Structure 1
Amino acid sequence: MITVDNIHKSFGDAKILKGISTVFDQGKTNLIIGQSGSGKTVFLKCLLGLFVPEQGTINYSGTNYSEMDEDQRTELRQSMGMVFQGSALFDSMTVEENVRFPMEMFSKKTPEEMRDRVNTVLARVNLENANDKFPSEISGGMQKRVAIARAIVMNPKYLFCDEPNSGLDPRTAILIDNLIQEITKEFNITTVINTHDMNSVMEIGEKIVFLKDGVKAWEGTNQEIFRTDNEAVTNFVYSSELFKKVRKMYQEEQ
């Protein structure tokens, strides 16, 4: 669980986050949505510890980040997995080497133990026997699965995903969404996803935080978002023709 209480973040005179409070529950897929410039990326980087808020607190499983010493912060960082936009794989490394990289940096496993762990997580993302391929030899969807395997290879408590469906076709995007949700449930991870993909909102939005101009304008589930009268949310969400159709179907069923 991650508890955020009244965080503020500025760069010079520009106030980016203006008092955001929320809770990201363990074992759930928590989504951050909002227009470009709403503060989503800065918020995610605060959660990752890359930016330090000037005001407010972020607690990880009950421990305040600002009160941690350097050893505790290092331990926290090692308990985080990250799926980057565009996958961010090393082109010169094989699939196995990409997935093994965090263990080489942060663990004391033997080469045999690392290979066993790599094979385990690659099997979990349905990429058996892809060990020796290079990123250029596999599809975008497969690259994303490699990125997920790398993110979970250290058994993280927290999984962060920045636009995980970027550049993927709709069918592959749904498969990636479902995989992230399955892993979240299976390993009881606190998963936070920064996205603009409305399909993701519908498919896996167990908790949705909507940001507008640096403030939390709304939060709820993917069911509650169909019923909200929050004008900021409806203006953003229902600009999608797909969402308009789904909302109409939902309202007809009530």
Structure 2
Amino acid sequence: MIEVENLHKAFDGEEVLKGIDFKFEKSKTNLIIGQSGSGKSVLLKCMLGLFTPEKGIIKYDGKPYSEFTEDERKDLSKQIGMVFQGGALFDSMTVEENVMFPLKMFTKKQHKENKERVKEVLNRVNLDGNEKKMPSEISGGMQKRVSIARAIVNRPKYLFCDEPNSGLDPKTATVIDNLIQEITHEYDITTIIITHDMNSVLEIGENIAFLKDGVLAWKGDKSQIFKTDDETVTDFVYSSNLFQKVREAQQQGL
């Protein structure tokens, strides 16, 4: 679990996060949603230790990050997996080499053992047999699955995903959503996902933080978000034609 308490962050005197309180629960897909500029990425970077908040506490499994020793912070970094928006694969490395990269960086295991672990996670994301291919030789959806395999290869306790569905068609995006959720439950991970995709909210929104102008405007799950009367939330949720139709159907009792 990751807990954020009264978190404030400012840049050049302008406050971006204005007292965020939220619990990112273990073994759940925790979604951070909101419009551009709402503070989602800043919150994520604060939790990753890339930004230092002016005020507030970030706790990893009950211990404030500010109290971590340098060695504890290094250990924490080894326990974090990251799925980047664009996949962030190394173009000059094979699929196998991309997934093996964190193992070579953070462990001292033998090459044979690393290869076995890579094969295991590639099989888990349904990419066995693609080890020797280059990123340019596989589809965008497959690249995202490689990114997920790389993120979980070190058996992380925490998984951060920044717009994991970016650039994917709806069907492939749903596959990626479900894969992330399955892995979260299977490995008992605390997963945090930034997304603009309301389909993802509907599919895997188990614990949702909705930010607006640096404030936690609403929290709940995927079933509750379609029942709220909060206009700030409903304006965001039903901003697309698809979800406007969902709302109309709900009102008509269909």
- TM-score by shorter chain over 0.5: yes
Q: Structure 2 regions of 5+ residues with no counterpart?
A: none
Q: Could you tell me which residue of structure 2 aligns to residue 158 of structure 1?
A: 158
Amino acid at match of 1:171: K
Amino acid at match of 1:138: I
- 1:222 paired to 2:222: yes
Q: Aligned-pair RMSD on alpha carbons?
A: 1.0
Q: Distance in 2 between matches of 1:31 and 1:101?
A: 27
Q: Could you tell me which residue of structure 2 aligns to residue 128 of structure 1?
A: 128
Alignment of 1:1-254 (within 5 A): 1-253=1-253
Amino acid at match of 1:122: L
CA deviation digits over 1:204-235, x for unaligned, max 9? 00011000000100011110011111111111
| Residue 252 of structure 1: how far off its partner (Å) | 4.6
Q: Structure 1 regions of 5+ residues with no counterpart?
A: none
TM-score (norm. length: structure 2): 0.98
Amino acid at match of 1:56: G
| Residue 246 of structure 1: how far off its partner (Å) | 2.3
CA deviation digits over 1:117-155, x for unaligned, max 9? 000000000000110000000000000000000000000
Change (3 A) 1:224 1:149: same
Q: Distance in 1 between matches of 2:116 and 2:139?
A: 24
Q: What is the count of residue pairs matched by the alignment?
A: 254
> Which SS does the other structure have where 1:243 is aligned?
helix
Instruction: Assess if the C-alpha contact under 8 Å between 1:226 and 1:250 holds in 2.
Output: no
Identity %: 66
Q: Distance in 1 between matches of 2:69 and 2:250?
A: 49
| Residue 244 of structure 1: how far off its partner (Å) | 1.9
TM-score (norm. length: structure 1): 0.98
> Which SS does the other structure have where 2:42 is aligned?
helix
| Residue 49 of structure 1: how far off its partner (Å) | 1.1
Q: Distance in 2 between matches of 1:253 and 1:187?
A: 38
Q: Distance in 1 between matches of 2:7 and 2:85?
A: 24
> Which SS does the other structure have where 1:226 is aligned?
coil
CA deviation digits over 1:57-80, x for unaligned, max 9? 000111110000100001111100
CA deviation digits over 1:12-66, x for unaligned, max 9? 1111100000001100000000000100100111111111111000001111100
Amino acid at match of 1:196: H
> Which SS does the other structure have where 2:30 is aligned?
strand
CA deviation digits over 1:157-213, x for unaligned, max 9? 000000000000000000000000000000010000000001000000001100000
| Residue 250 of structure 1: how far off its partner (Å) | 3.9
Q: Distance in 2 between matches of 1:84 and 1:155?
A: 17
Amino acid at match of 1:247: R
Runs of 4+ that moved beyond 6 A:
none
